[in-house]
Structure 1
Amino acid sequence: MDKFRRIGAGFCGTVWTSPCEESVHFGRAFKREDGGPGRSLLNDFRMHQSVLEAREKLSELPGFESSSVHIYVPRFAEFIGPEDGWWNSNLEYFPSGYTACNMILSERIPAVSQKARELLIDRYCPSSFAAEIKTSEANEDCLIRPYLGRRRYNAAAHTRPSRFKAFSLRNYPLHLDQMEELGLDAADLVHYVEVMAEALAMMHWLAGIDANDVEFVLAPPRSAEKTPAVISNKLGDHVMWILDFDCCNRLSFDIDGVDQAVTAFFKNDPFYPRPNSSSALWAAFRRKYIEVSNDILQTRLLNDNDKDDIQKLPEAFMQRIEERI
């Protein structure tokens, strides 16, 4: 079998996959804890499990069903420690010099289509090396980060030829002004922020976590699924995925928990809309977050003595965000 191929890297560690379609590991991602200090893959795994369970619970609530929960979460999460027997038969597929370590094995998020990659390259890559980027194997591993809370400060500068040969489609940050520039429909942008709002409410009130430093990406659905979650536009058929839970923390259902969630909101990359980036998108995000939060809490708090106080927390979360803008 071919060696595993590295498809990403972050502060927590490196991410690998098997390029061999005949391999039992094809379609899986391997996230190694070989990055910076102070990050925990075990916490990532536990929080990932909480989010998977929360998504399942959300699909069982009145008014929801599996097909109407729009956020995608990688499945099959499994934690593998450095002493696990898995390494005896699989360490050889990593490059020479790599050792056993903590690792998460999960479903791999599919890469963005070639047509969508070429659209981004033609529009935003310096023409002097666009052809090289189009044939680069590394840039086939394209996921798009939807930065709906930020516009580029000097968009015109990004259209001028660059003297630096640096352009990557891995975790490509697509800002709000770029989405508009590419002609994505306003309805699609509203869909994106509503999915984020649904996911954030799910993480806060079902998973009970603050969603600190999670990542949203646009990428194809698994196995060419056709569900209401799938958007079809210039970026091809895609859905919104969520990943990277290693910095998440448990959340208390009180005003201290709200403050913790607000801090996490602003520490994250600018995925979420802001009132000052687009009032229309913020209004859609706010409305959906409150709606889903209320649906969750009304079901969860049937016998809770603090029900009235807890049901006020989603609105308090939104108000505190608006006060800080």
Structure 2
Amino acid sequence: MSSDIGRLSRRLGATTDQSTASSMDVSLKEAIMENLTLGEHLEAEAEAESPESLLKRMLSIKSAVTTSSSFAQKQQAAIGTDAIFRGIGTGSIGKIFGHPGTIFAYKLPVSGQPEKLWNNYTKHLRVYHSFKSLPYIPDQVEIPRCFWYATPDTESFWSDNLERFPDLPHYPRLARHALCMERIFPLPRPIRHALVDKFCPQKARQTIKDSDSNKDCLVRPCLGRVKYGTGGHFFTLRNFKLHANKIKELEINPSELIIGMSHALAVGSLIYFLLSLSRQARI
């Protein structure tokens, strides 16, 4: 199985172009420096706004949002170092690790069935190239780039990076299949805290704000679903579901989301949507 996937990977040209990677590193450094300044302005603005007002303004797709200065500082400090990869999410197919100081994220399979991850990779490529061929999509929806696929035998990756993955009791450090893709960076602290202040039970708010895992905050709009209540102790900012009733409550214009999402669904049906930083703010 591994050798078959490896041959297919080479046939599809699933390698990172070094000049492209280098230019992205330069752009990342520039973006981080801008974010250090912009993040401070966002923090100052947030102090003067209610959670509802901040969320209405910042979760609009027309808003200019930057990463928080603390996140940008960590990214800047990690550039060119051998920082440990950090787990930033888990899905049905794989665990995702962020590569500090770069725009890369690695998805590793959670089961002994790497063909699911490979299928994820090939579909990701098809969707990405389909979107690139549609000129009206980029201003509404962005698809994270998919760079390459590695197998346990990909020495060029694992010899340099195996020790940088955490060695966990439930997920030991091993050379595995790996999908390298563009990381979707988390929303900044003022937005995270506003979500907590607005939707989290009061007794759990500070715990949620202080949680490291909840710093990996991504908002997932769910326009076809309503849900009431706060979630209690199960409240999480990872893939935070912004249901239709919450969108209405925050007075966010749903048409801004509907247009982009409907265009995207015309390209492919199995597409998940997240509110995140624009690519211009990420690299």
TM-score range, shorter chain: 0.5 to 0.7
Provide the alpha-carbon RMSD of the alignment: 2.0
Q: TM-score, normalised by structure 2?
A: 0.64
User: Does structure 2 conserve the Cα–Cα contact (< 8 Å) formed by 1:142 and 1:170?
Assistant: yes
- Counterpart CA distance in 1 for 2:177 and 2:258 is 34
Worse overlay, 164-173 or 8-17: 164-173
Kindly report structure 1 stretches of 4+ aligned residues shifted beyond 3 Å.
35-39
- The structure in which a higher percent of residues are helix is 2
1:218 is paired with a residue whose SS is coil
Alpha-carbon offset, residue 67 of structure 1: 5.0
Secondary structure class of the residue paired with 2:274:
strand
- Which of the residues 155, 158, 168 maps onto 1:87? 158
CA contact (8 A) 2:219 2:274 kept: yes
> 2:259 & 2:138 partners in 1: Cα distance?
15
Residue matched to 2:206: 131
**Which residues of structure 1 form unaligned runs of 5+?**
204-210, 226-325
Bigger Rg over Cα: 1
When residues 199 and 132 of structure 1 are mapped into structure 2, their CA distance, relative to the original with a 3 A threshold, is same
- Please state if 1:196 is matched with 2:261: yes
Listed one character per residue, the Cα deviations across residues 88-143 of structure 1 (whole Å, up to 9, x for unaligned) are 11111012231111111011011112121111100111111211211222111011
For the 8 Å contact 1:8–1:14, the answer to whether it is kept is yes
Counterparts of residues 76-115 of structure 1 (less than 5 Å)? 76-85=146-155, 86-96=157-167, 97-115=172-190
Asked if 1:6 is matched to 2:87, the reply is yes
Q: Is the 8 A contact 1:17 1:29 kept in 2?
A: yes
2-structure distance, mates of 1:10, 1:67:
26
- Tell whether the 8 Å contact from 1:110 to 1:222 is kept in structure 2 after alignment: no
Change (3 A) 1:104 1:38: closer
Conserved 8 A contact 1:11-1:36: no
Give the share of equivalent positions with the same residue, in percent. 32
Normalised by the length of structure 1, the TM-score is 0.56
Indicate the SS of the match to 2:123: helix
Quick one: which of 250, 267, 272 aligns to 1:215?
Answer: 272
For the residues of structure 2 that align with 1:200 and 1:165, how far apart are their CA atoms? 33
Measure how far apart 1:82 and its partner are. 1.3
| Cross-structure match for 1:151 | 226
Partner amino acid for 2:94? G
Deviation at 1:15, TM superposition (A): 0.4
Distance, in Å, in 1 between the alignment partners of 2:281 and 2:245 is 29
**Distance in 1 between residues matched to 2:147 and 2:266, nearest whole Å:** 22
Q: Give, in whole Å, the separation in 2 of the partners of 1:67 and 1:199.
A: 10
Which whole-Å CA distance do the structure 2 matches of 1:35 and 1:141 have between them? 23
1:50-69 alpha-carbon deviations (Å, 9 max, x no partner): 1111112112xxxx4x754x
Residue type at the aligned position of 2:93? C
Partner of 1:174, secondary structure, is: strand
Partner of 1:249: none
C-alpha separation in 1, matches of 2:224 and 2:115: 26
Counterpart selection for 2:131 from 31, 55, 70: 55
Checking the alignment, whether the CA contact within 8 Å between 1:45 and 1:77 is kept in structure 2 is no
CA shift at 1:202, angstroms?
2.3
Q: Aligned runs of 1:138-287 on 2, under 5 Å?
A: 138-152=213-227, 155=228, 158=229, 165-184=233-252, 186=253, 189-203=254-268, 211-212=269-270, 214-224=271-281
What secondary structure does 1:77 align onto? strand
> Is the 8 Å Cα contact of residues 96 and 106 (structure 2) preserved in structure 1?
yes
Residue 29 (str. 1) matches residue 97 (str. 2): no
> Residue 145 of structure 2 aligns with which residue?
75
> Is the Cα–Cα contact under 8 Å of residues 142 and 279 in structure 2 kept in the other structure?
no
User: For the structure 1 residues 115 and 35, does the alpha-carbon distance in structure 2 shift closer, same or farther, using more than 3 Å as the test?
Assistant: farther
Matching residue's letter, 2:165: F
Contact 1:14 1:35 in 2 (8 A): no
Contact 2:104 2:180 (8 Å CA) reproduced? yes
Q: 1:34/1:197 Cα in 2 relative to 1: closer, same or farther (>3 Å)?
A: same
Greater relative contact order (Cα 8 A, min sep 6): structure 1 or 2?
2
Change (3 A) 1:4 1:136: same
Does structure 1 retain, via aligned residues, the 8 Å contact 2:125–2:146?
no
